[in-house]
Chains A and B, each alone.
Chain A
Amino acid sequence: MSPTDSARSAAPEISVRQRRGIRRTTWAVSLLALAVYFGYMIVTFMHMHR
């Protein structure tokens, strides 16, 4: 499958502005998920060493 195939079904009419928004939101949400993961590990770890 060529990249074009997936890009085609992936929304040909997406504007550059929207693409930028997609990139930013993806980063933000992914970092949020990672922060939650490590945040809880750290909180638990601290609890363990009390």
Chain B
Amino acid sequence: MTESHETAVHAEHDHKPHGWRRWVFATNHKDIGTMYLIFSGVMFFLGGAAAMGIRAQLFKSGLELFDPAEFNQLLTMHALMMIFGAVMPAWVGLANWMIPLQIGAPDMALPRLNNLSFWILPFAGALLMSAFLVPGGAPAGGWTMYPPLMEQFGASFPMVIFAIHLLGISSILGAINVIVTIMNLRAPGMSLLRMPLFVWTWLITAFLLIAVMPVLAGAVTMLLTDHFFGTSFFNAAGGGDPVLFLHVFWFFGHPEVYILILPAFGVISEIIPTFSRKPLFGYEAMVYATASIAFLSFIVWGHHMFTVGMPVSAQLFFMLSTMLIAVPTGVKVFNWTATMWRGSLSFEPPMLFAVAFLFLFTIGGFSGLMLALVPSDYQYHGTYFVVAHFHYVLVPGAVFAIMGAVYYWLPKWSGRMYDMRLAKWHFWLSAIFVNVLFFPQHFLGLAGMPRRIADYAPQFTDWNMVSSIGGFVFGAAQLLFPYIVWRCVRSGKPVGANKPWEGARGLEWELPSPAPYHSWQEPPSEAVLAHGAEH
């Protein structure tokens, strides 16, 4: 951005480009945020369709619908679409929408870079999906892409690696933009320790992204050169070591799961105070806990590899460092609970999702602790217990937080209120059937059912049927979500001048709803800042 652009920008403040140009050349953080959220929604339903296929196959024992090769493709693509296509872009979309509004900035600091980071995504997504169409089909080695298995796939192998590079570049650019925006465009008077927690958690997430997305890029590049250019990073025959890939991958992989969940912590820390009508309990502790979790996430990767074979001292280190994460996480859960304590609670849809998050994410946290114990992990590793664990943290964790965030801020974005009754239906169906879907998978895992299998021994049938029924109802219930959002944007009741949630604090609520196309052209005054202060 050069100085010469500064002239002539004061005319026509509410100038809004029209037609397709508004979207293709978008530089407005709200438009880009909206596109991210739509992209994420599309990928969520594609990934969800794959999940329905998986659960249909596993409804009873026997190869009913797919042969094992097809099943594994569906499984791998499901995970890649959900992680890189649905959850990560949803967070970037929410960051785009909310960070400028919450810190009193007129836009993101690097709007054209913002355009690029978004528009990489549809191409990367299309490339990823087209893997299904080439000879040999999509990759089927699981989203962890371990060699040498990963290298045994056909034409789609380099396509998926390229897609991952693109997705990674997009996230890195997005992270750069978030950091630069937060560091430079906060309203006068908004010191770091006055920032809303969603901004804080995103700032920390952005540093995690910068630190580990390049590692993933490096790992898949080495897979690529091993395959096509005769290197032997991971090839034992050439002096390399396949276990090295596991180390590099999980050095990315564990921080990655925190990339998926830290912004959720931020959202929950915004919603609970609003519907408890109390300030967040222990704001600074929340910030330090988030930073500690981010730091620890770099030194626990070995817990994914206990059974690979490593010195007992290394196992002890990874076990203890992993269990240490329970401390800052416990601080968070305690503070959320303490915020509700003696609050004047009400249970609108965002709060319902937040409270469900609190209970169900914690279940996922507990099963994580069980998995962190080396001796028990020898039993659980590679079973459905792991599948239950990461789905508890991802679905009623990350995904519920995203839905809660949409239900919380949609009236701010659209100026309209959604159908509360339908949203509550959406919540209750989701919250009940997510447990029907994933809780029995703990039992299956403990009984020894391996993960990533297309068929299973008949004694596992009963709980698999329960799980599949849970999956079908959960999946169907999600169709309500786009319907509710669409109806709200089309014809919801205008929220008018009032805040939709009277307990809400924060700069975004000092703006009219819908938020004007160009918000905070003038930074908010100290008085507005103090009025909107969250704590």
In the complex the two chains form, what is the Cα distance from A18 to B211 in whole Å? Answer: 25
A: contact size bracket: 20 to 34
B: contact size bracket: 35 or more
In the complex the two chains form, what is the Cα distance from A11 to B103 in whole Å? Answer: 14
Q: Which residues of chain B in 438-466 are interfacial with respect to chain A, using CB atoms and an 8 Å cutoff?
A: none
In the complex the two chains form, what is the Cα distance from A23 to B176 in whole Å? Answer: 11
In the complex the two chains form, what is the Cα distance from A5 to B106 in whole Å? Answer: 14
Chain A residue at minimal CB-CB distance from B518:
A9
Could you tell me if A13 and B521 are in contact, using CB atoms closer than 8 angstroms? yes
Please give, as numbers and ranges, the residues of chain B lying within 8 Å of A29 by CB-CB distance.
175-176, 179-180, 210
Q: Is B523 interfacial (CB 8 A cutoff)?
A: yes
Q: Which residues of chain A in 3-48 are interfacial with respect to chain B, using CB atoms and an 8 Å cutoff?
A: 3-14, 16, 18-19, 21-23, 25-26, 29-30, 32-34, 36-37, 40-41, 44-45, 47-48
Contact (A22, B106) CB under 8 Å given A6-B27, A30-B176: no
Interface centre among B106, B110, B221 (most CB of A within 10 A): B106
Could you tell me if A5 and B17 are in contact, using CB atoms closer than 8 angstroms? yes
In the complex the two chains form, what is the Cα distance from A29 to B522 in whole Å? Answer: 27
In the complex the two chains form, what is the Cα distance from A40 to B220 in whole Å? Answer: 12
In the complex the two chains form, what is the Cα distance from A19 to B180 in whole Å? Answer: 10
From the candidates A6, A12, A22, A41, name the one contacting B112 in the complex (CB within 8 A).
A6
Could you tell me if B106 and A25 are in contact, using CB atoms closer than 8 angstroms? no
Closest Cβ of chain B to A25, distance in Å, is 4
Closest Cβ of chain A to B59, distance in Å, is 43
Q: Is B129 interfacial (CB 8 A cutoff)?
A: no
Q: Is B5 interfacial (CB 8 A cutoff)?
A: yes
Q: Is B376 interfacial (CB 8 A cutoff)?
A: no
Please give, as numbers and ranges, the residues of chain B lying within 8 Å of A36 by CB-CB distance.
210-212, 214-215
In the complex the two chains form, what is the Cα distance from A41 to B233 in whole Å? Answer: 10
In the complex the two chains form, what is the Cα distance from A26 to B522 in whole Å? Answer: 23
Contact (A9, B28) CB under 8 Å given A19-B1, A44-B218: yes
From the candidates A6, A12, A19, A47, name the one contacting B25 in the complex (CB within 8 A).
A6
Could you tell me if B111 and A10 are in contact, using CB atoms closer than 8 angstroms? yes
In the complex the two chains form, what is the Cα distance from A45 to B248 in whole Å? Answer: 12
Could you tell me if B110 and A19 are in contact, using CB atoms closer than 8 angstroms? no
In the complex the two chains form, what is the Cα distance from A23 to B110 in whole Å? Answer: 10
Chain A residue at minimal CB-CB distance from B215:
A40
Number of A-B contacts (CB under 8 A): 120
Chain A residue at minimal CB-CB distance from B21:
A1
Please give, as numbers and ranges, the residues of chain B lying within 8 Å of A6 by CB-CB distance.
5, 25, 27, 111-112
Closest Cβ of chain A to B371, distance in Å, is 26
Closest Cβ of chain B to A12, distance in Å, is 4
Contact (A13, B522) CB under 8 Å given A21-B183, A29-B180: yes
Q: Is B340 interfacial (CB 8 A cutoff)?
A: no
Could you tell me if B109 and A22 are in contact, using CB atoms closer than 8 angstroms? yes
In the complex the two chains form, what is the Cα distance from A32 to B52 in whole Å? Answer: 41
Please give, as numbers and ranges, the residues of chain B lying within 8 Å of A48 by CB-CB distance.
232-233, 239-241, 244
Could you tell me if A33 and B176 are in contact, using CB atoms closer than 8 angstroms? yes
Q: Is B421 interfacial (CB 8 A cutoff)?
A: no
Could you tell me if A4 and B215 are in contact, using CB atoms closer than 8 angstroms? no
Could you tell me if A22 and B111 are in contact, using CB atoms closer than 8 angstroms? no
Could you tell me if A10 and B27 are in contact, using CB atoms closer than 8 angstroms? yes
Closest Cβ of chain B to A47, distance in Å, is 6
Closest Cβ of chain A to B490, distance in Å, is 25
Could you tell me if B185 and A18 are in contact, using CB atoms closer than 8 angstroms? yes
Please give, as numbers and ranges, the residues of chain A lying within 8 Å of B180 by CB-CB distance.
22, 25-26, 29
Over the window 1-40 of chain B, the binary record of Cβ atoms lying under 8 Å from chain A Cβ atoms (1 yes, 0 no) is 1010110111011010100010001011000000000000
Could you tell me if A44 and B244 are in contact, using CB atoms closer than 8 angstroms? yes
In the complex the two chains form, what is the Cα distance from A22 to B175 in whole Å? Answer: 14
Could you tell me if B3 and A1 are in contact, using CB atoms closer than 8 angstroms? no
Please give, as numbers and ranges, the residues of chain A lying within 8 Å of B515 by CB-CB distance.
none
Contact (A37, B179) CB under 8 Å given A7-B1, A44-B248: no
17 intermolecular pairs with C-beta atoms under 8 Å apart: A4-B5, A5-B25, A6-B111, A8-B9, A9-B27, A9-B111, A10-B27, A11-B106, A12-B521, A13-B523, A16-B3, A29-B175, A32-B210, A34-B214, A37-B218, A41-B218, A48-B244
User: Which residue numbers of A lie inside 8 Å of B, CB to CB?
Assistant: 1, 3-14, 16, 18-19, 21-23, 25-26, 29-30, 32-34, 36-37, 40-41, 44-45, 47-48
Give 8 closest A-B pairs by Cβ, nearest first: A37-B214, A7-B5, A11-B106, A10-B111, A21-B184, A12-B9, A6-B27, A36-B214
Given A5-B15, A26-B176, 19 further pairs, Cβ under 8 A:
A6-B25, A6-B112, A8-B9, A8-B12, A11-B107, A11-B185, A12-B9, A12-B106, A13-B521, A14-B185, A18-B185, A21-B184, A22-B180, A29-B179, A29-B180, A32-B210, A37-B217, A44-B222, A44-B233
